[in-house]
Protein backbone atom coordinates (compact mmCIF):
# COMPACT_ATOMS: atom_id res chain seq x y z
CA UNK A 1 0.00 0.00 0.00
CA UNK A 2 1.15 3.49 -0.74
CA UNK A 3 1.43 6.34 1.73
CA UNK A 4 -1.43 8.18 0.02
CA UNK A 5 -3.77 5.24 0.60
CA UNK A 6 -2.90 4.84 4.29
CA UNK A 7 -2.48 8.39 5.55
CA UNK A 8 -5.36 10.43 4.24
CA UNK A 9 -6.13 13.87 5.61
CA UNK A 10 -9.25 12.81 7.50
CA UNK A 11 -7.41 9.99 9.30
CA UNK A 12 -4.66 12.35 10.41
CA UNK A 13 -7.22 14.90 11.59
CA UNK A 14 -9.34 12.33 13.45
CA UNK A 15 -6.37 10.70 15.18
CA UNK A 16 -4.88 13.99 16.34
CA UNK A 17 -8.26 15.29 17.51
CA UNK A 18 -8.83 12.16 19.60
CA UNK A 19 -5.39 12.45 21.21
CA UNK A 20 -5.95 16.18 21.76
CA UNK A 21 -9.31 15.49 23.41
CA UNK A 22 -7.71 12.93 25.72
CA UNK A 23 -4.86 15.29 26.69
CA UNK A 24 -7.20 18.22 27.29
CA UNK A 25 -9.56 16.06 29.35
CA UNK A 26 -6.71 14.86 31.55
CA UNK A 27 -5.44 18.44 31.87
CA UNK A 28 -8.88 19.68 32.87
CA UNK A 29 -9.45 16.77 35.26
CA UNK A 30 -6.15 17.22 37.12
CA UNK A 31 -5.81 20.98 36.47
CA UNK A 32 -2.28 20.32 35.27
CA UNK A 33 -0.12 22.68 33.23
CA UNK A 34 1.95 19.68 32.18
CA UNK A 35 -0.96 18.16 30.26
CA UNK A 36 -1.92 21.51 28.73
CA UNK A 37 1.63 21.77 27.39
CA UNK A 38 1.37 18.26 25.97
CA UNK A 39 -1.87 19.27 24.25
CA UNK A 40 -0.17 22.30 22.69
CA UNK A 41 2.66 20.07 21.46
CA UNK A 42 0.08 17.66 20.01
CA UNK A 43 -1.33 20.55 17.99
CA UNK A 44 2.18 21.29 16.74
CA UNK A 45 2.70 17.64 15.77
CA UNK A 46 -0.66 17.68 14.00
CA UNK A 47 0.43 20.71 11.96
CA UNK A 48 3.66 18.93 11.00
CA UNK A 49 1.76 15.79 9.96
CA UNK A 50 -0.61 17.84 7.81
CA UNK A 51 2.36 19.56 6.19
CA UNK A 52 4.08 16.26 5.45
CA UNK A 53 0.83 14.91 4.04
CA UNK A 54 0.43 17.97 1.78
CA UNK A 55 4.03 17.65 0.64
CA UNK A 56 3.92 13.92 -0.15
CA UNK A 57 0.35 13.43 -1.35
CA UNK A 58 -0.66 16.86 -2.58
CA UNK A 59 0.31 18.31 -5.89
CA UNK A 60 1.37 21.59 -4.27
CA UNK A 61 4.84 20.93 -2.81
CA UNK A 62 5.40 24.63 -2.04
CA UNK A 63 2.38 24.74 0.27
CA UNK A 64 3.55 21.57 2.04
CA UNK A 65 7.03 23.02 2.50
CA UNK A 66 5.68 26.26 3.96
CA UNK A 67 3.36 24.38 6.33
CA UNK A 68 6.22 22.15 7.50
CA UNK A 69 8.52 25.15 8.04
CA UNK A 70 5.93 27.15 9.99
CA UNK A 71 4.93 24.09 12.01
CA UNK A 72 8.52 23.39 13.02
CA UNK A 73 8.94 27.03 14.06
CA UNK A 74 5.70 26.82 16.06
CA UNK A 75 6.96 23.65 17.74
CA UNK A 76 10.34 25.17 18.57
CA UNK A 77 8.67 28.28 20.00
CA UNK A 78 6.45 26.14 22.24
CA UNK A 79 9.36 23.98 23.37
CA UNK A 80 11.33 27.10 24.29
CA UNK A 81 8.28 28.53 26.07
CA UNK A 82 7.71 25.32 28.03
CA UNK A 83 11.28 24.62 29.10
CA UNK A 84 12.98 28.01 29.30
CA UNK A 85 10.39 30.72 29.92
Given a cut of 80, whether residue 46 has pLDDT beyond it is yes
Contact 51, 67 (CB under 8 A): yes
CA within 13 Å, CB half, 43: 13
Q: Check residue 59 and report its DSSP letter.
A: S
pLDDT at 75: 92
Domain that holds residue 74: 3-84
pTM as predicted: 0.79
Q: Check residue 58 and report its DSSP letter.
A: S
Name the band, by pLDDT with cuts 50, 70 and 90, for residue 52.
confident
First CA to last CA distance, the chain: 44
Given a cut of 70, whether residue 7 has pLDDT beyond it is yes
CA within 13 Å, CB half, 47: 18
What total number of domains does the chain contain?
A: 1
Name the band, by pLDDT with cuts 50, 70 and 90, for residue 28.
very high
- Number of other CB atoms surrounding residue 45 within 10 Å: 15
Given a cut of 70, whether residue 4 has pLDDT beyond it is no
Amino acid sequence: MKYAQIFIDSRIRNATLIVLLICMSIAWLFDSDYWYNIAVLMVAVSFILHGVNDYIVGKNKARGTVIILLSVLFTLYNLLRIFFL
